[in-house]
Chain A
Amino acid sequence: MKTIPTLGEILQAQGVSRRGFMKYCAATASLLALPPAMVPRIANALEQARRPSVIWLSFQECTGCTESLTRSSSPTLEGLIFDSISLDYHHTLQAASGDAAEAARHAAMQENMGQYLVLVDGSIPMGNPGFSTIAGISNYDMLMETVDGAAAVVAIGSCAAFGGIPGANPNPTGAVSVQDLVKDKPIVNVPGCPPIPMVITAVLAQFLTFGQLPELDIHGRPTAFFGQTIHDRCYRRPFYEQGRFAETFDDEGARKGWCLFKLGCKGPITYNACATVKWNAGTSFPIESGHPCLGCSEPGFWDKGGFYAPLSTGKFGSGEKLAGAAVAGVALGAAAAVAGRRRQAKYTKEG
């Protein structure tokens, strides 16, 4: 069996100084949304960590999730994390193709039986196996064969986590999510269309650092990133509390950066970290760029009655109550958000 170097050994071989390593650990703590006081513990754990084998399966997807992950310039700290895992199969990124690629997948599974991670982007078509195949293997067969010896599965993006766009009404391929099929392995959902790249790497960093998966919410999402709504952390929220809204994309409210609730913002019912982690190396997030949140990290986001329809007029019940509460002040505003969330939970349960 091959000897797998520790991360400390890898970094030492690369000539990374202890200062550089401490900087790396500080960034990792920040990435994992852990307090800076955890940095020494992270340093100790990372020094001893060994590269896990990762098999990435892409099914009915647009490659946007991979695009998101690879968007950072190389080499980056996130890149270093990826240098520190063994990405043994990813049919978009790997050089091998056909039988050679499938041989690499089988070799990684055999050499790391019970210990490798499976990352999946894209949904799985159950209507007809021929709707989506890789090397002549149906998505379903490849998924079930690969996860059999896995330590855990990470569903990347809303398609793998919840069915996503392929699963949207009328769902012509019978698309389902990973958690609809895999019942006997730990699953982490990292939804988003696409997910924030830092959130993808954070899940891997958590596994690498502590050898365990993060704490999850009721939809299987890491609470460190999906524990609060976009609305909870939005810098425009004070305008919501004051009842100041943009009514169109070019009115005074839009120019002054007021709340986008009436333009269809799904921030009050969407759990994600966009408002703090942000996108493109911390540049901004959709609301900061003047566009409402689409709610892309929530189950069934594509079928919720229109991106530009206010929550108060969508499938979320009494619109007048929500909109009324939104203009009536802090207490009622918070109640509206809670009401929206309850309706969201109901909607999700009912499918």
Chain B
Amino acid sequence: MNSKDPIRSAIPYRRGNVKPLLNEIIHALDRLLDDDEPTVIDLASLPFAPGELEQLEQALGRGELNAELDALGKSHIRETAYPGVWWLEHRNTAGEIVGRYIEITRTPEILMSQDADIGAGRAKLRDSFEDTGNEFNKEAAK
């Protein structure tokens, strides 16, 4: 249990949110396999009872892949025990949850390197290469 996320209560409420969500995920997997259509479920919009989110997380379990993103705060992206079903949590720089989603997709978009970042990285590497080259030439000329 994370002290920054006190919504994860130990009170064993069962108000019936988990089963319909699991059913929705099954249908989303159908769409992914049959039509290549991904689905995102925003968990912030659902009226979870204390402890229900934890029940959902336990029901989905943990899979083979677990990633951490560090951009405007940490994000945790992990595949659940069901391939193609991903659990995403975005936090701000103070460690507070700002978004929690289930994505039914092959790879969550946020894990992909983005063209804008690739372009900026290439320019940075090029600059670094030229600087290094200049330094090398100066050394060689001595």
Contacts and interface: CB of A to CB of B under 8 A. Distances in A.
Interface of A: 16-20, 22-24, 26-27, 29-30, 33, 35-37, 72-77, 80, 233-236, 238, 257, 275-278, 281-284, 288
**5 closest Cβ contacts across the A-B interface?**
A20-B71, A73-B94, A36-B40, A18-B114, A235-B49
A27 B116 CA distance: 20
B99 interface: yes
A199 to B, nearest CB: 13
Given A235-B15, A235-B48, A76 B94 contact: yes
Interface stretch (B6-14, B23-31, B78-86, B132-140): B6-14
Interface string B101-127: 100000001100011110000000000
A235 B13 contact: yes
B6 A18 contact: no
B113 to A, nearest CB: 8
B7 A276 contact: no
A35 B11 CA distance: 30
Given A80-B72, A276-B45, A281-B96, A22 B40 contact: no
A291 B116 CA distance: 49
Contacts of A19: 69, 71, 110, 114, 117
Nearest to B112: A19
B11 A18 contact: no
Given A18-B116, A33-B45, A284-B7, 4 more contacts: A22-B110, A22-B114, A30-B44, A278-B7
Given A33-B45, A235-B15, A283 B72 contact: no
A20 B40 CA distance: 18
Contacts, number: 105
A267 B136 CA distance: 72
Contacts of A277: 44
B141 to A, nearest CB: 35
Contacts of A23: 69, 71-72, 75, 90, 99, 110
A22 B108 CA distance: 12
Contacts of A288: 50
Contacts of A275: 47
B114 A235 contact: no
Interface of B: 4-7, 11, 13, 15-16, 40-42, 44-50, 52, 69, 71-73, 75, 90, 92-94, 96-99, 101, 109-110, 114-117
Contacts of A235: 13, 15, 47-50, 52
Contacts of B98: 27, 30, 76-77
Contacts of A73: 92, 94, 96
15 contacts: A18-B116, A18-B117, A19-B69, A22-B109, A23-B71, A23-B110, A27-B98, A30-B45, A33-B45, A35-B40, A75-B94, A233-B47, A235-B50, A282-B5, A282-B97
A276 B114 contact: no
- Residue of A18, A277, A288 with highest tally of chain B CB at under 10 A: A18
A71 B98 CA distance: 14
Contacts of A77: 72-73, 92, 98
Contacts of B49: 235-236
Contacts of A24: 72
A27 B94 contact: no
Contacts of A281: 4, 96-97
A87 to B, nearest CB: 19
B15 A238 contact: yes
A283 B99 contact: no
B42 A76 contact: no
Nearest to B11: A257
A97 to B, nearest CB: 30
Contacts of A33: 45
Given A19-B110, A235-B49, A76 B44 contact: no
A77 B16 CA distance: 31
B4 to A, nearest CB: 8
